[in-house]
Structure 1
């Protein structure tokens, strides 16, 4: 219960993690042109888990403003924390990480998801960002356990979870409906350090 009380004191405006090369924070409306530019310059999808180059015709500045408001609503309700990943050097938007609440109270349990734009792969940004967000989840958001749910054949995501210090726990059978069928997922996890 102590962690839950600490969580309610988090100020969303102060929610930010900084690493040697990155700043990870909630999106702001002023991020639109940076966000748009980076997505516009993605390569075509490099594998089935990569969104790659997308049609941006519906992603207007008004749409982006609404997205930012939705994200704030999710954070205020403690449902999800959706964070942009930006390079400190030039401010470029390189990806997005989200932490979703699965259950609070005596569990303090969440799930992490991560996407690095394919133009920034193989540069260590994913590992750096995921490690920072895991720390944020434990120290600023009061979670005790964070899981990553990963497709069985998503080798890059498995390597990223392991490099960020997450441990393999189990296979959840027919866990999520995707690609037109109920799909097995690997579960990786990390717990907060015990005091």
Structure 2
């Protein structure tokens, strides 16, 4: 069990993230008292994709090369089409997601971010949701897809789109409070 005020939460992202899907979880989790760390492939800043154009940037706090699963209580994966598509071809990003899943700690993915869960081969037999356009990818990877604002399967938290952010963030906070889960093989 981890008090949200003591929680260390990682957000793994790169250029092309859906602006609200990074900024809103960062805001809500920080407002609840968590320490939120933006992790990316390189130092500097990463740019959002917002309404068909490059949007607001956010500073990177830590590179993926320096990130350790043991240092965080939860991992958040923002969506957008570009961001998870770029990350899912990076072996280190896929390994980090897989290792986080295997740790039993809360792992949250929204919109197109379940592509990373597919690539990490962690959704077979799990109840999940995603942006509707990747439903077939999720199902082909063995995920049990449902059209709900937030779906949780043993601290694996998924949501569909920015309209679901309040429920998504509330569920992350709830799962962090519950702590590590012993995930049964699906």
More strand by share: 1
- Which of the pair has the greater relative contact order for Cα pairs under 8 Å at 6+ separation? 2
Q: Higher Cα Rg: structure 1 or 2?
A: 1
More helix by share: 2
Q: Same fold (TM over 0.5)?
A: no
The two structures have a TM-score, normalised by structure 2, of 0.32
The two structures have a TM-score, normalised by structure 1, of 0.31
